[in-house]
Amino acid sequence: MIENQGGNGAVSDSILERTLRAGHFAVTSELGPPQSADRNVILEKAGLLKGYSEAVNITDNQTAIVRMSSIGAGAIVIQEGLEPVIQMTCRDRNRLAIQSDLLGAYALGARNLLCLSGDHQSFGNHPTAKNVFDLDSIQLVQMVASMRDECIFQCGDAFKGQEPRLFIGAAAAPFADPIDFRPYRLAKKVQAGADFIQTQLIYDVPAFEEYMEKVRTMGLHEQTYILAGVGPLKSPGMARYMKNNVPGLLVPDQIIERMTAAGEPWAHIGKEDLTKEDKAARSAAWKQEGIQICIELINELRRIEGVAGVHIMAIEWEEAVGPIVEGAGLHPRPAIESLPA
Amino acid sequence: MIIAEQKPFEEIKTLIGEAENILVVGCGTCVTVCFAGGDREADILASSLRMNGQLEQRSREVKHVTVQRQCEWEYLDEIAPDIEESDLLLSLGCGIGVQAIAEHFPEKWVVPGLNTTFMGLPLEQGVWSERCAACGDCVLGLTGGICPIARCSKSLLNGPCGGSEDGHCEIDPDTSCAWQLIYERLTAMDRLDALLEIQPPKNWKTSRDGGPRKIVRQDLRLVSEEAGDD
């Protein structure tokens, strides 16, 4: 038990963990598996992301839409030389299924896990499905930590042999309601055993600074690695949608204005008169500004004490990750072979 | 109480099929209070079925009767003669009432006229809201009297998730976020400490997940031998 836990305090041999423990500013990114059994989609996306982050989150039926499994896609990603962060939701599996899947994931080479409650199935493409929610995300963190650190299953039975030495993550939504409770909820996740945290998308840096101040007062930044979530905007419409429709997301008007201004050269053209070429050029201008804003956000976020890295969510836009990481001066990623014992 | 609502008329017509002597059985308890299956609703549904039978030129007799509690066999005994005369029973009781009839009159075909929806309370005239999921292991003492099992869309024990906005659940703007309510109540009562403790995984064995449930109270039983099968 915990044989490979050296004096460096590492709980796993994840590259993400080693990067963080070595004191480097870490980068994670995200890979959305396809709504098919097409391995090539994973290969293409892995090719775009390789070398730009320590680890790549593989979403688990994100927004409750059926996609290739996180563990399946994660195994392919490992073959491509990337390190996955397996995302696991409580929506689709009970405690038996989660534990057995995680044993399998570890055996396939997975070393990082992100524990989530999961989007409710009513948002997805199977709204008539029965949900599970046998556990919640905090109980999931606790269960995996017990499997790893004590070699016991959730029922309390001890097991022999290899334990799943996973670097355990959880999510945080700093601006979700009730906002005053958010640092305390983070504390519960840390207490449950979360080694790292990936936050919801941050666009409002001053608001996040306030949150981090409370987090630091509670000493949580010294007990877990907090990776601030960022994501490039594709259009002013996307920015407005996020501001108005996504709970727990703060998008300052200033950012919406910048995105709008990026499309200014086409603003005088009537909607019907926009040619295909105009639309493509405007989209490219928007995306360029979206990437630039994301780079600036990373530069601001990394100055906040207690922010150990960034999690870049370029949803269905994996091409953006390279330019963002390079633009933020975070490329090449540090070479981490091993930590001192 | 148990809240139910009437099935669509077309579905009821399909369920009764070619039956000629139909008895609509109302219930005088929960479904009367929620205006789904009391005497008034049974009367109206029986009339509707008679009119529909005439329109479709069917030979269809429809009577209605209402018992005080459809979920207890002794009340059903009172209407045994009406039941005997019918070839189909259309129950306007909850799912328990339908099954009580099926068990007590095994030679009769019974169909449901209601969808039993939840256990809840009226918020105002005409509005009902779920309150209890009958999980069999009440947590209300931890959550200020607001049930996260029945009222949180994900039944979280360590809520709130990040999905509520202005106190509403992300799945429906008309649904209150149970955890927002819990948070506000515990804050107001100066008991927020209760939310800082991690609640362990729930024992769902006492819920439906443990299989069909039964309670045997020997102190109340009139015969001392082993309780029979269901």
pLDDT of res. A252: 98
Asked if residue A6 has pLDDT above 60, the reply is no
**ipTM surpasses 0.90:** yes
A138 interaction partners in chain B (CB closer than 8 Å) = 158, 198
Nearest CA in chain A to B197: A188
A58: domain range? 15-327
Asked if residue A9 has pLDDT above 90, the reply is no
A9–chain B Cβ distance below 8 A for any pair: no
Sign of CA dihedral B41, B47, B53, B59: positive
Pick from A139, A191, A247: which is nearest to B170 by CB? A247
B154–chain A Cβ distance below 8 A for any pair: yes
pLDDT of res. B86: 97
Are A94 and A130 spatial neighbours (Cβ–Cβ below 8 Å)? no
pLDDT of res. A337: 67
Identify the residue whose tokens are 């443990």. Answer: B210
The CATH number of residue B24's host domain is: 3.40.50
Please tell me the distance from the alpha carbon of residue B71 to that of residue B100, in angstroms, as a whole number: 6
Give residue-wise pLDDT tens across range A33-46.
999 999 999 999 99
pLDDT of res. A4: 43
Residue B29 lies in a domain: yes
Verify that B111 and B19 share a domain, yes or no.
Answer: yes
Nearest CA in chain A to B181: A178
pLDDT of res. B223: 82
Judge: A131–B161 Cβ closer than 8 Å, yes or no: no
The CA–CA distances, whole Å, from B22 to B70, B85, B115 equal 17, 9, 19
Verify that B114 and B141 share a domain, yes or no.
Answer: no
Pick from B184, B196, B201: which is nearest to A139 by CB? B201
Verify that B114 and B145 share a domain, yes or no.
Answer: no
β pairing state of A55-58 and A84-89 = parallel
- Burial of B75-105, coded b for 16+ CB within 10 Å and e otherwise, reads bbeebeeebeebebbbbbbbebbbbbbeebb
For chains A and B, CB pairs below 8 A equal 86
Residue A3 lies in a domain: no
Sorted by sequence, the CB contacts under 8 Å of residue A43 that are 6+ apart come out as A76, A80
B174–chain A Cβ distance below 8 A for any pair: no
Tell me the shortest Cα–Cα distance from A201 to chain B, in angstroms.
12
Per mean pLDDT, which range of A59-68, A329-338, B24-33, B178-187 is the poorest?
Answer: A329-338
The CATH number of residue A119's host domain is: 3.20.20.220
B194: domain range? 133-210
Which of the residues in chain B have pLDDT under 70?
Answer: 224, 227-228
Average pLDDT, chain A: 95
Asked if residue A1 has pLDDT above 50, the reply is no
Residue B224 lies in a domain: no
Residue A8 lies in a domain: no
Verify that B80 and B140 share a domain, yes or no.
Answer: no
Residue A319 lies in a domain: yes
Structure tokens that stand for B211 in this block: 């299989």
A170–chain B Cβ distance below 8 A for any pair: no
Residue B174 lies in a domain: yes
Mean pLDDT for A93-120 is 98
Tell me the shortest Cα–Cα distance from A168 to chain B, in angstroms.
17
Judge: A139–B154 Cβ closer than 8 Å, yes or no: no
Domains of chain B: total: 2
Sorted by sequence, the CB contacts under 8 Å of residue B196 that are 6+ apart come out as A184, A187, A188
A116 interaction partners in chain B (CB closer than 8 Å) = none
Cis status of the peptide bond prior to B160, with omega within 30 of 0:
yes
B155 interaction partners in chain A (CB closer than 8 Å) = 133
Residue B221 lies in a domain: no
DSSP β-bridge partners for residue B168:
B165, B176
Per mean pLDDT, which range of A152-161, A266-275, B85-94 is the poorest?
Answer: A266-275
Site from A153, A181, A250 to mutate, B interface, most B CB atoms within 10 angstroms: A181
Give residue-wise pLDDT tens across range A291-325.
999 999 999 999 999 999 999 999 899 999 999 99
Verify that B81 and B31 share a domain, yes or no.
Answer: yes
Structure tokens that stand for A74 in this block: 């994660």
% of chain A at pLDDT higher than 90: 94
Domains of chain A: total: 1
